């Protein structure tokens, strides 16, 4: 049955009124996921919330949290004549320590944009004298497809395909976030990641930190309802993991996708921009499939990492500051001339604040 725009408006007004009724003190709620950040800006949800409710962006944009050291490694590989780099498009313009993949591409490096990791296998098959390195960046949402590509490479006997993994796991990052001094009253959890891992991996938020959290979908009403569910928990003094996005994210997640991930990857400590090294938060190709792991098989000299001067991406990703608190925002740093990763990706908090307006920088 179709829902009329009048019904949608009525429902949005109901959530908005109820949130205002329940809130009796300032609340800091974090939307962990970059897709939520963009949806919140696009739909004008902030205007429907009382001033006491502050929504802050979190570390859920995979490109944003990928470290400079990883980028520098990818750039170093791209300088080798016998290497083809395959990557999703949004990695191209992220500045590394002294260059970016787009600059290297303009200089002649063979860097190709793919829309699925599997395309890398076709490229490898068509270029047998080259080493094809796929930049595997993303959370639990994209790791299963990259893992399936490794399995397909093994099945097909492809021996010139490699993965440079920067895959990251969201729950350990949330634990790290809650363990430091950032005050958060509640979390909106990423719907896509939750569709893979389910509800269980988040239980520590309620148990260890007494932080309520709600898995949320991506429509404006999904997000508004999830905020309402959070505010209701807070008003009742509860801290539970709830799921607003049951139509897609089942409580048990997607066991098949998790199985494929486990078949190919092992957990390792890894570096997050802004959060530093987080124990058990990264994925690397495991021993059985190590021949597909770029860093284990292909030597490369990587320049020392230099972080962009004045960039507050780390603080933005921890919810410590807003993008507009960075002195470079909108002046030296803009989407067409980004200094930090949060201004590059469409899901980056700085890019969202810039594109959709924050009061200080109207559209």
List residues binding ligand SF4 (CB under 6 A).
Answer: 311-313, 316, 323, 326, 328-329, 333, 339-340, 342-343, 350
Q: Smallest distance, Å, CB 182 to ligand SF4?
A: 16
Tokens of 286: 């495991």
Nearest to 204 by CA among 255, 170, 232, 234: 170
Q: Which is nearer to ligand SF4, 30 or 333 (CB)?
A: 333
Q: Which is nearer to ligand SF4, 137 or 342 (CB)?
A: 342
Q: Smallest distance, Å, CB 256 to ligand SF4?
A: 37
Q: Which residues contact residue 322 at a Cβ distance below 8 angstroms, ignoring those fewer than 6 apart? A: 56, 316, 353, 358
Q: Smallest distance, Å, CB 308 to ligand SF4?
A: 6
Q: Which is nearer to ligand SF4, 83 or 343 (CB)?
A: 343
Q: Smallest distance, Å, CB 62 to ligand SF4?
A: 15
Q: Smallest distance, Å, CB 64 to ligand SF4?
A: 8
Q: Which is nearer to ligand SF4, 197 or 326 (CB)?
A: 326
Helix, strand, coil percent content, the chain, rounded in steps of 5: 45, 20, 35
- Report how far residue 239's alpha carbon sits from residue 231's, in angstroms, rounded to the nearest whole number: 11
Q: What is the DSSP track for 109-168?
A: --EEE-SSTHHHHHHHHH-TTSEEEEEEEESTTTHHHHHHHHHHHHHHT--SEEEEEEEB
Q: Which is nearer to ligand SF4, 40 or 328 (CB)?
A: 328
Give the DSSP H or E segment for 269: strand 265-272
Q: Smallest distance, Å, CB 153 to ligand SF4?
A: 35
Q: Which residues contact residue 316 at a Cβ distance below 8 angstroms, ignoring those fewer than 6 apart? A: 57, 274, 322, 323, 326, 342, 349, 350
- Report how far residue 225's alpha carbon sits from residue 206's, in angstroms, rounded to the nearest whole number: 19
Contact present, 360 and 324 (Cβ < 8 Å): yes
Q: Which is nearer to ligand SF4, 184 or 316 (CB)?
A: 316
Q: Strand pairing partners for 131?
A: 83
Q: Smallest distance, Å, CB 278 to ligand SF4?
A: 20
Q: Smallest distance, Å, CB 207 to ligand SF4?
A: 33
Give the residue at shortest CB distance from ligand SF4.
340
- Report how far residue 212's alpha carbon sits from residue 201's, in angstroms, rounded to the nearest whole number: 14
Q: How many CB atoms lie under 10 A from the CB of residue 37?
A: 27
Q: Which is nearer to ligand SF4, 45 or 350 (CB)?
A: 350
Strand 53-60 relative to strand 27-33, pairing: parallel
In a 10 Å sphere around its CB, with 0-12 CB exposed, 13-18 middle and 19+ buried, how is residue 77 labelled? buried
Q: Which is nearer to ligand SF4, 230 or 313 (CB)?
A: 313
Q: Smallest distance, Å, CB 65 to ligand SF4?
A: 12
Nearest to 263 by CA among 158, 144, 170: 144
Q: Which is nearer to ligand SF4, 249 or 344 (CB)?
A: 344
């Amino acid at each position: 049955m179709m829902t009329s725009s009048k019904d949608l408006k009525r429902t949005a007004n109901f959530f908005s009124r109820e949130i205002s009724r329940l809130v009796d003190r300032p609340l800091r709620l974090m939307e962990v996921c970059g897709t939520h950040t963009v949806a919140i800006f696009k739909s004008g949800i902030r205007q429907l919330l009382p001033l006491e409710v502050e929504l802050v962006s979190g570390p859920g944009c995979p490109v944003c949290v990928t470290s400079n050291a990883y980028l520098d490694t990818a750039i170093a590989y791209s300088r080798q004549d016998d290497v083809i780099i395959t990557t999703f498009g949004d990695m191209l313009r992220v500045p590394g320590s002294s260059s970016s993949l787009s600059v290297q591409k303009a200089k002649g490096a063979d860097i190709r944009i793919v829309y699925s990791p599997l395309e890398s296998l076709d490229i490898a098959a068509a270029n047998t004298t080259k080493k094809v390195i796929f930049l595997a960046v993303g959370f639990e949402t994209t790791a299963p497809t990259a893992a399936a590509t490794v399995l397909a490479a093994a099945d097909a006997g492809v021996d010139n395909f490699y993965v440079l993994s920067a895959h990251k796991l969201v729950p350990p990052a949330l634990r790290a976030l809650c363990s430091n001094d950032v005050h958060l009253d509640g979390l909106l959890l990423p719907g896509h990641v939750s569709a893979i891992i389910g509800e269980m991996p988040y239980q520590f938020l309620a148990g260890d930190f007494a932080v309520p959290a709600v898995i949320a979908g991506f429509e404006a009403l999904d997000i508004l309802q999830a905020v309402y569910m959070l505010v209701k928990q807070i008003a009742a003094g509860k801290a539970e993991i709830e799921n607003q996005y049951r139509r897609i994210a089942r409580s048990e997640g997607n066991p098949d996708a998790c199985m494929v991930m486990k078949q190919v990857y092992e957990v390792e400590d890894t570096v997050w921009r802004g959060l530093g090294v987080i124990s058990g938060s990264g994925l690397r190709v495991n021993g059985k499939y190590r021949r597909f792991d770029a860093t284990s098989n292909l030597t490369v000299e990587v320049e020392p990492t230099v972080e962009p001067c004045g960039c507050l991406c780390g603080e933005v990703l921890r919810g410590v500051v807003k993008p507009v608190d960075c002195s470079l925002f909108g002046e030296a740093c803009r989407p067409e001339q980004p200094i930090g990763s949060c201004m590059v990706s469409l899901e980056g908090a700085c890019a969202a604040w810039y594109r959709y307006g924050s009061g200080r920088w109207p559209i």
